[in-house]
Amino acid sequence: MQPLLTATIASILSMSLMLAVNLPDNSLLWSAVQNSGHFVIFTLLSCFTFRILRPTRFHTAPLHQLLICAALLALASLIELIQGVIPGRDASWDDMLLDTMGIATGYLIFTFFHRFNQISNSTRAALAVTCLAIGIKTLQPVLAISAYHILKSGPPSIVSFADPFVLSTIKGIGNASATVVNIKPDNHERSIRMLRMDFANQIYSGVVLHDTSAAWNDEGTLGIQLFNRGGLRRVVELRIHDKYHNNKYNDRFDRTLVVEPGINEFSIPLEQIKYSRSGDTARGHLDMNNITEIQFFSSDKNPFSLYLSGLFLRP
């Protein structure tokens, strides 16, 4: 009974940790760190549980191991159900998948060490490579975003598309997509790295830039450079959120941008962005030290592409 009690206590502690810890920052980086925690915690818990509850008479006991897997999956399901009723938290199938991958990885690690002398060198290598591949694939978002923050350009650029791993912080919504390409505009001697934004024929199809340079000054302007390679005028909406955005219309900055064929430059006073809140919001302005999202989206019935070459702050 003692190994079972120890495994139960470890499970309770793991569940308490996952439910109690809610990282305070809502940036994409901290969200990726928190999600990766599901994989890491269940990998450790799985390896520990298989180790402490290992069969005593046989090296292989499929039913015994199947019961452990079922218990760990039940624990993961319970955590998601509890998260679903905690304010500010959500149940997620993605988290369940991370938990399941952690359980599988923990079992492979246990097998590698527990049966080290009973398996061939090729099997050991296969287990090690499999665990490493799962770990890298699962932790790839947090690794890429961390690398981006370490290597990214500083002010005055809000985001530079020449930075490595910049696409790890850019997401398409409403069937839109984003890729970094080299474009040589007319009257330019060399190519420029730009973000190609492909908008779909769907309402609110757009591109979201996360984890940009968060601290903006109260004075100066926001500079935007958009390149329209087509022959038609295009209209997109610019939306800016701060950390405290609550998905209401009156707590964000909105601006319609009319993009003519060719290179377009827009300049928006930061004071207008700061005091764009209206209505009965708790605060009367955006927090310019905690800008978290910049969005470009379209309601056009026809798909089209635009190229974003620059986002920067001007004094």
From first to last of the 315 residues of the chain, give the pLDDT tens digit: 577 767 777 777 777 767 676 665 556 677 777 778 888 888 998 988 888 887 655 445 677 788 888 889 998 898 888 887 877 677 788 888 888 999 999 988 888 887 777 778 888 888 888 888 888 888 888 888 788 777 777 666 788 888 888 888 899 999 999 999 998 776 667 778 899 999 998 888 999 998 776 567 767 899 999 999 888 999 999 998 887 665 555 567 889 999 999 989 999 998 888 887 544 445 567 888 888 889 999 988 889 999 998 888 887
How many C-beta atoms lie closer than 10 Å to residue 167's C-beta? 15
Contacts of 235 (CB under 8 A, 6+ apart): 256, 257, 258, 259, 298, 300
Euclidean distance between CA atoms 224 and 216, whole angstroms = 15
Boundaries of every domain in the chain: 2-151, 157-314
Packing angle of the helix pair 62-83, 28-52 (nearest 10 deg): 150
pLDDT digits (tens, 9 = 90+) for 108-152: 888 888 777 777 888 888 888 888 888 888 888 888 878 877 777
Residue range 157-314 in CATH 2.60.120.430: yes
- φ, ψ of residue 172 to 5 degrees: the values are -95, 140
Contacts of 20 (CB under 8 A, 6+ apart): none
Q: Where are the beta strands (DSSP E) in 27-132?
A: none
Residue where the block lists tokens 């730009």: 194
Euclidean distance between CA atoms 83 and 37, whole angstroms = 15
Q: Which residue type, as a one-letter code, is found at position 178?
A: A
- φ, ψ of residue 85 to 5 degrees: the values are -110, 0
| Cis before 156? omega within 30 | yes
